[in-house]
Chain A
Amino acid sequence: MQGEISNILAVISLNKELVSGGAPIFFARDEEELEKIAGYLSKILDAMVHDLGNGSYVVVRH
């Protein structure tokens, strides 16, 4: 992670009003679905899931 650029590859959120912008956004109906989508995306993209604490996750490649 030293000197390399980290990229946000996807955003997964419970709240449509909180997120918008450049990366692909996935909305989840509940907490469980949120975890599931994030887990799948992490495996698909070989990237890491980070919790923003407001019901949104970002998938980042380091």
Chain B
Amino acid sequence: MPEYLIVITAGVLAGTLSRIILLRSDYRQYPGYPHGYMSHLLLGFIASALGAVAVPAVMAPEYTAVTFLALAVQQFREIRNMERRTLESLERTELIKRGLDYIEGIARTFEARNYLVMATAFATSLATQFGGLPAGGVVAVITILLSRNLMSGEILGNICDVVPARLSFDGPTLMVDEIGLINVGLKDMREDILKNGIAVKIKPKDGNARSIIHDMGQRKAIAFTAAVILGSKKDVDIPEYTPLVRKNPHTGEAGLYIMPVERDMEQLIAAVKLTPVLESASSKPLLAGSSIRKAKKKVD
């Protein structure tokens, strides 16, 4: 077998393998169908082929071949659009909505994963070119592990404490501990909610976490994850059963109420903790301190 073929094959194999591994880890975000898996695997294969071909092309030397990479980037941006469109059109008939922020996050993740695949393939074929197959294998393992661990993202459990809370009514207002959620008019409904609903309180550990909980898209994502894992009794004609997250404006703590199919507090806490911190919600106001002080000095 000619050398360049070995290089390309090594890169393509490593890239495709990394796509398969990354695809497995996103069960919570996107319960896919065989067709969905198929199209993502194929796109991953193409991405890794593009990454792997770059090295022999430069060695050839065919420098213009590198412009293919630009084409690939264009192509993968299209993947983001595709994912977004699919999820948005599904959202319309969804009883409990993911929210646009969550969808955007998922779409962006799918795009970024293809870049990771391309980088894995590129690094592997580079190592194979100069160090032979053993070196290629080592680099492949390292890059796959790196892309898996670096891209797993933060979860809510890292930044917030989640504790069981008590549901009650203050007049018609549904309360999770001291946080008022919504006005429930019908008396039967109130009794039903007290009997079958459960609630938790989400306590941010610091200012950064507080600003993340403050984000409405993040709160929707929390309610969505809880509803996916515990099930929800909501139907079109029972809007009262919509899972809700509202915050205490003074402390920044948030209360979640849900009418679950499985009334299991431990599961609910686990579900809330497992919710990914959305990229669009993530902010670090505590780190802004130094630059604000600098700006202030300039003004003074």
Contact = CB atoms under 8 A, between A and B. Distances in A.
Interface of A: 2, 35, 38-39, 42-43, 46-51, 53, 57-58, 61-62
Contact of A53 (B171, B217, B239, B240): B171
Nearest to B235: A46
A62 B59 CA distance: 62
B184 interface: yes
B186 interface: yes
B185 A51 contact: yes
A48 B216 contact: no
A49 B237 contact: no
19 contacts: A2-B99, A35-B186, A38-B186, A39-B186, A39-B188, A42-B186, A42-B237, A43-B237, A46-B237, A46-B239, A47-B239, A48-B239, A49-B184, A49-B185, A49-B189, A50-B184, A50-B185, A57-B185, A62-B239
A50 B188 CA distance: 13
Interface string B84-121: 00000000000000010000000000000000000000
B201 interface: no
Interface of B: 99, 171-172, 183-189, 216-217, 220, 236-237, 239-240
Nearest to B183: A50
Contact of A49 (B186, B220, B236): B186
Nearest to A62: B239
A57 B185 CA distance: 7
A51 B239 contact: no
A23 to B, nearest CB: 15
Most A Cβ at <10 Å: residue of B186, B217, B236 = B186
Nearest to B97: A2
A1 to B, nearest CB: 8
B220 A2 contact: yes
A58 B220 CA distance: 25
B188 to A, nearest CB: 7
B136 to A, nearest CB: 49
Contacts of A38: 185-186
Nearest to B172: A51
Nearest to A43: B237
A61 B217 CA distance: 21
A52 to B, nearest CB: 8
Contacts of A51: 171-172, 183-185
B171 A48 contact: no
Given A50-B172, A51-B171, A51-B172, A35 B237 contact: no
A43 B238 CA distance: 7
A59 to B, nearest CB: 8
B67 to A, nearest CB: 42
B240 A48 contact: yes
B255 to A, nearest CB: 15
Q: Which 10 A-B pairs have the closest CB atoms?
A: A49-B185, A51-B172, A51-B185, A48-B239, A50-B183, A50-B185, A2-B216, A57-B185, A46-B237, A43-B237
B187 A35 contact: yes
Contacts of A46: 236-237, 239
